[in-house]
Amino acid sequence: MKDLIVYYSLEGNTEYVADKIRGETGADVLKLVPKKAYHDKGFAKFFWGGKSAVMAEKPALEEYKVELDEYERIIFGFPVWASNFTPPLRTFITENAAKLKGKRFAAYACQSGAGAEKAFEKLAKCLGINGFEQTAVFIDPKARASEDKDAQIAAFAISLKK
């Protein structure tokens, strides 16, 4: 049975990691796209995105097709917003709650500074689980790319194959 990476990315960092994990593991990928795009510049980006995360919003998503029965493990990827996971994941989990039951879960977060551990806790709670099999945190892996960060992503991807 295959793995599915389910991610949201506003500025490309989380997507960058998803692409690398897919390259290493052959996992399938589902990118979540909110119907109403979040602001991606200046004050509005932090204000509206932060508010949406703090309010635990569930933004409507563009239509997606996925057969969750085909996957044994889901790997969630998200940017940390206000020490929380990003709202499009909340929508996805709510829409697929029944089919997610009994799956194995891993998760990774992209952030600039801090908050990922709290975000993992909140994501686990949203999924109704105690924790993840594996987690990884990457500091702006695309915007501030380096060989070390690429190696860290590769190590996480390899750990997912075990």
Ligand X SMILES: Cc1cc2nc3c(=O)[nH]c(=O)nc-3n(C[C@H](O)[C@H](O)[C@H](O)COP(=O)(O)O)c2cc1C
Binding site for ligand X (CB under 6 A): 9-14, 45-46, 49-50, 79-83, 110-115, 140
**Locus of tokens 């709290």:** 118
Nearest distance, CB of residue 85 and ligand X, angstroms? 10
40/72 with CB nearer ligand X: 40
Residue nearer to ligand X on the CB measure, 16 or 105: 16
Beta strands in the chain (DSSP E): 2-7, 28-31, 71-79, 104-111, 134-139
Burial call 93-111: b when 16+ CB within 10 Å, e when fewer: beeeeeebeebebbbbbbb
Q: Give the nearer residue to ligand X in terms of CB position, either 10 or 106.
A: 10
Q: How far is the CB of 41 from ligand X (least distance, A)?
A: 10
Nearest distance from residue 4's CB to ligand X, in Å? 18
**For ligand X, which is the closer residue by CB, 13 or 135?**
13
Dihedral over alpha carbons 146, 37, 59, 94 (to 10 degrees): -40
What's the one-letter identity of residue 9? S
